[in-house]
Amino acid sequence: MLNNDMISVLTDRIQTVTHSNKNLILVGPIQLPVNLDGETVPFQWYSWLAADLFPEGATTEEIIQQLPSLHLAESQQSSVLVYGDFENANEALIRMHSICHTGDIFGSKRCDCGFQLRQSMRMIQAHGSGALFYLANHEGRGIGLFSKAMAYILQENGYDTVDANLELGFADDTRSYAEAIAVLQALRTKPVSLITNNPKKLKALKASGMNVDKRIPLWGDISSYNEKYLQTKKTRSGHLEKNEALI
């Protein structure tokens, strides 16, 4: 049983984030020194859960009591890495990164996800202020890891990445950025620049009322293994070329 001092320490790091569908409980900041190309970079880390997992207005003690019964390791939680004075800096770079088990963890060359993850962290550090949202329920553009494995088999047999999803009975892309945007708005209200090639991310951010200064394209790590995948993103998913503006 935690003593009152520890409850108070945890309470200071928990906040409720208002979100149109359901509120979120955000925990952080937590110091997270990260090894980026051999340099130790001091990120601040936050994670969140849906508030409706807990009784309304739950205290920190009630939240803690509930945690073991939620079996959180069996579901996915998203998080955000924040760098610099994210709340107050005049300019900040953000990235909404969809989880890619194969690319981010294994370094798969079938996509560009692992490259984009590391590169956006480097860009945020070099800029001096920013945030990387790691969106854990986005695997395979929302179809889940097992289904993505099936989709990969279809792709090895001639389907492109979009048709493979559709043939398996999914929509091509079911990702929502709403929770991440609500967390972003709790951490910063000043304008942001978004690192992406995906116009849907830009639209979602702008529709939320967030002031988006500019889009920063991120193409790279192109090889024979992902050439077709990257091309399909442009021809079928509407991903923008380097300097193409959002129409």
Contacts of 218 (CB under 8 A, 6+ apart): 95, 116, 119, 120, 123, 195, 196, 197
Min dist CB 88 to ligand GTP, Å, is 26
Under DSSP, is residue 82 helix (H, G, I), strand (E, B) or coil?
strand
- The strand ranges marked E within the chain are 14-17, 24-36, 39-50, 79-83, 93-98, 130-135, 192-195, 212-216
Under the binding rule (CB under 6 A), the answer on residue 99 touching ligand GTP is yes
Spatial distance between the Cα atoms of 76 and 240, rounded to a whole number of angstroms: 29
Q: Give the per-residue contact string, 122-151, with ligand GTP (x = CB under 6 A; - = no).
A: ----------------xxxx-x----x--x
Is-contact 199 240, C-beta < 8 A?
Answer: yes
**Which among 95, 110, 141, 175 is annotated as catalytic?**
175
Which residue in 49, 94, 111, 180 binds ligand GTP (CB under 6 A)? 111
- 120 touching ligand GTP, by CB under 6 A: no
Instruction: Give the tokens for residue 192.
Output: 């942001």
- Residue with Cβ nearer ligand GTP (28 or 104): 104
* Residue length of the chain: 247
3-state SS assignment for residue 134: strand
Site string for ligand GTP, 146-175 (x = CB under 6 A): --x--x---x-----x---x----------
**Options 79, 116, 125, 129; binder of ligand GTP; rule CB under 6 A:** 116
93 binds ligand GTP (CB under 6 A): no
Q: Where does this chain bind ligand GTP (CB under 6 A)?
A: 98-100, 111, 113, 116, 138-141, 143, 148, 151, 155, 161, 165, 196-198, 201, 218, 229, 233, 237, 239
Known catalytic residues are 173, 175
